[in-house]
Amino acid sequence: MPITDLLARNAELYGDNISLVELNPEIQERSPVTWKEYELIQPATSTIYRREISWRVFEEKANRFANFLLSRGIRKGHKVAILLMNCLEWLPIYFGILKTGALVVPMNFRYTAEEIKYCLNLAEVDALVFGPEFVSRVEEICGQVAKVGMLLYVGETCPAYAESYDRFTANYSSTAPSIPITDEDDAAIYFSSGTTGFPKAILHKHRSLTHSCKVEQNHHMQTEDDIFLCIPPLYHTGAKMHWFGSLLSGSKAVILRGVSPKWILDAVSQEKCTIVWLLVPWAQDILDALDRGELHLSNYDTSQWRLMHIGAQPVPPSLIKRWMTYFPDHLYDTNYGLSESIGPGCVHLGIENIHKVGAIGIPGYGWETKIILEDGNQVSNGEVGELAVKGPGLMECYYNNIEATDAVLHDGWLYTGDMAKQDEDGFIYLVDRKKDVIISGGENIYPVQIENFLMTHDCIKDVAVIGLPDRRLGEISAAIIELKQGHVCTEDEMKEFCNDLPRYKRPRKFIFASVPRNPTGKIEKPVLRERYGGSNLVAAQNKG
């Protein structure tokens, strides 16, 4: 079953039920409107902090957009990209694209103009839907993307170089277009990156998306009565594939635009959320606010909140232990996955296995795993090897990149690049990443990109960027800088120089020291992580 059929089914079975709610607490804090008054406000009003749509309206909006795209020549096999912050329009646009038979291409909202251009060209995108936060970036690359023939703007004050999404889609039919779609049709392209940091376009079929719905509901047992709080960006496979459990169960989801502890607890309390997916930093922030007495659980109704789960990065067992002191009745799960395996769930801990916190878990619903050595043989329990996964949610390929595809897909298995081991009970533990990607707050940071930028500084002889443990973010990036002889440079000067990088790519630590390389010229990053991890970092900085 293609995933679009699930939306049509929900519109028929649960038409008047609320499907999506958007909350914008920043607007709410500037508004005299109270939580108790929000139900009296027209949901379509864009100046208020809460909007909602039913499953029937969701389906109608998706159909209108699909019919508009078809009228403009978008056909099966074309690609339409989405560059939006989380909003009520995001998912209807996503499904509208799929209903045409075209491929949907979600874009990371952190991308610079050059990265946007690169990804649009790489995926051979035919049309781009974007929001007000991206006007200047899109304007910068106008005319530089070979195939993009249509720019659609979601929001007020449409720029001259684009067309208004609201103006053009409102008058189109709300009846589903008669486009035959099967499980084996191409559905989506997501972006990932390899060791060089250059994005790769990951191609998935409809069966991958549909299987992720089944995985999520099987793991977390969503029913029509559940309410999912969605906080991470919807371009991310993690957020969307967890929401797919709501899609399969026909249950409501709340899209929260903001991550402050108060806003999260407000949303849980007022919207009666039962399932919340957090990143490690957000969970840490909630606990810290409770520890400091800035928030008090007695002020919130959290009695219906049954499940908290975490993904996107390793989870410190100490965090879950702290969490359970405040929320002793919560079920807990952690999920492991990659965009190549349609996001979270190919491995998961399982709500019944909290005694194994620290492990990423066991194979998810419909998935197989193995841990292998360089020669392809499987390891013994306790032995470290590379984790490989296999299942119905596996990508087809890296789009237009046969070499990269062949490097990771072997006889139906995806070699993840993550080093892992398995205990006697079959639970998998991550040991290290084969690649040097830094995961900070759930976002991937690619050291080579930062190293190449830093090497343009006149004073720098050599540089290595590594991840260091951080209680809140999981990891932070640190730059080990070897200066040219006779040159002097300070940390403040480095911070100023790095202002040209996007904020999330700027190193959080600067260490002035030699950069070790092995006989073949490769930086010995394991040596650096051992040298500067934890308390050794303070000593190194004091010495520097």
Beta strands of 322-473 (E only): which ranges? 331-338, 343-348, 362-363, 368-372, 385-390, 397-398, 409-410, 413-422, 428-433, 438-440, 443-445, 460-470
Which SS3 state, helix, strand or coil, does residue 101 take? coil
Alpha helices, DSSP H, located in 369-490: 402-408, 447-454
Same structural domain, 64 and 192 = yes
Q: Which residues fall within 8 angstroms of residue 21, CB to CB, at 6 or more apart?
A: 50, 51, 52, 252, 253, 254, 255, 271
Phi and psi, residue 480, nearest 5°: -90, 120
**Same domain (yes/no): 92, 177:** yes
Q: Is 389 left (phi over 0), alpha (psi -120 to 50) or beta?
A: beta
Number of compact structural domains in the chain: 3
177: which DSSP letter? P
Phi, psi of 472 (to 5 degrees): -90, -50
- Looking at 433, 463, 496, the residue that finishes a domain is 433
Does any domain span residue 286?
no
Three-state secondary structure call for residue 297: helix
Residue 215 within any structural domain of the chain: yes
Q: Comparing C-alpha atoms, which of 84, 73, 18, 247 is closest to residue 93? A: 84
End-to-end CA distance of the chain: 61
Q: Is residue 223 part of a domain?
A: yes
Q: How many Å apart are CA 297 and CA 88, to the nearest integer?
A: 29
Tally of CB atoms within 10 A around 378:
12
Q: Are 162 and 151 in contact (CB under 8 A)?
A: yes
User: Which pLDDT value is given to residue 43?
Assistant: 40
Q: Are residues 129 and 235 in the same domain?
A: yes
Write the CA distances from 180 to 95, 209, 213, 364, 415, integer angstroms.
15, 17, 21, 30, 33
Which tokens in the block code for residue 70? 């078809």
* Beta-sheet pairing, 428-433 with 413-422: antiparallel
CA 512 – CA 417 distance, rounded (Å): 30
Three-state SS for 236? coil
Residue 183 lies in a domain: yes
> How confident is the prediction along the chain (544 residues), in pLDDT tens digits per residue?
899 999 999 999 999 999 999 999 987 666 554 444 444 443 433 446 899 999 999 999 999 999 999 999 999 999 999 999 999 999 999 999 999 999 999 999 988 899 999 999 999 999 999 999 999 999 999 888 878 999 999 998 999 999 999 888 888 999 999 999 999 999 999 998 543 457 899 999 999 999 999 999 999 999 999 999 999 999 988 888 999 999 999 999 999 999 999 999 999 999 999 999 998 878 888 998 999 899 999 999 999 999 999 876 667 788 898 899 999 999 999 999 899 998 889 999 999 999 998 899 999 999 999 999 988 889 888 888 899 999 999 999 999 999 999 999 999 999 998 888 999 999 999 876 666 778 888 877 878 778 878 988 989 888 899 999 998 888 999 999 999 888 899 999 999 999 999 888 899 999 999 988 764 456 788 889 889 985 444 434 433 3
Specify the pairing of strand 474-483 against strand 509-512: parallel
Determine contact, residues 60/19, Cβ cutoff 8 Å.
no
**Last residue within a domain, chosen from 433, 448, 480:** 433
**Does residue 134 form part of some domain?**
yes
Q: Which helix (H) or strand (E) holds 105?
A: strand 103-106
361 and 505 both lie in a single domain: no
Which residue has 């999260």 as its token pair? 264
| Domain shared by 355 and 504, yes or no | no
What the block records as the tokens of 186 is: 């191409």
Residues 419 and 449 grouped into a single domain = no
Q: 426 and 512 share a domain? A: no
Distance CA 434, CA 323 (A): 30
CATH of the domain at 384: 2.30.38.10
Q: Which amino acid is it at 473? A: L
216 lies in which domain range? 3-258
pLDDT at 70: 97
- For residue 142, report the phi and psi dihedrals to the nearest 5 degrees: -55, 130
Q: Is residue 157 part of a domain?
A: yes
Going from the C-alpha of 144 to that of each of 117, 139, 147, 148, 154, the distances in angstroms are 7, 10, 9, 9, 21
Number of helices (H), then strands (E), in the chain: 17, 27
Structure-token match 């090497």, residue found: 455
Q: What is the pTM of this model?
A: 0.83
Distances (CA, A) of 65 to 71, 169, 269, 513: 10, 6, 34, 56
**Among all chains, which residue has been given the structure tokens 């909140």?**
305
Beta bridge partners of 222: none
d(CA 138, CA 112): 10
pLDDT of residue 484: 85
Amino acid at 367: W
* 416 and 490 co-located in one domain: no
Q: What is the dihedral of CA 347, 206, 125, 340, to 10 degrees?
A: 20
| Residue 150: inside a domain | yes
Residues 425 and 445 in one domain: no
Residue 443 is given by DSSP the state E
427: in domain:
yes
DSSP letter at 305 equals: -
148 neighbors 125 (Cβ within 8 angstroms): yes
- 3 state SS of 445: strand
- Residue 68: CATH number of its domain: 3.40.50.12780
259's tokens: 């991550």
Structure tokens at 226: 């559940």
- Sequence length of the chain is 544
Indicate the burial class of 370 (C-beta count within 10 angstroms; 0-12, 13-18, 19 or more).
middle
- Do both 237 and 369 map to the same domain? no
Report angle CA 60, 83, 438 to the nearest 5 degrees: 130
Whether residues 447 and 412 fall in one domain:
no
Q: Tell me, yes or no, whether 517 and 373 share the same domain.
A: no
Residue 250 pLDDT: 97
Question: What CATH number is attached to the domain comprising 517?
Answer: 3.30.300.30
Of 433, 459, 486, the domain-final residue: 433
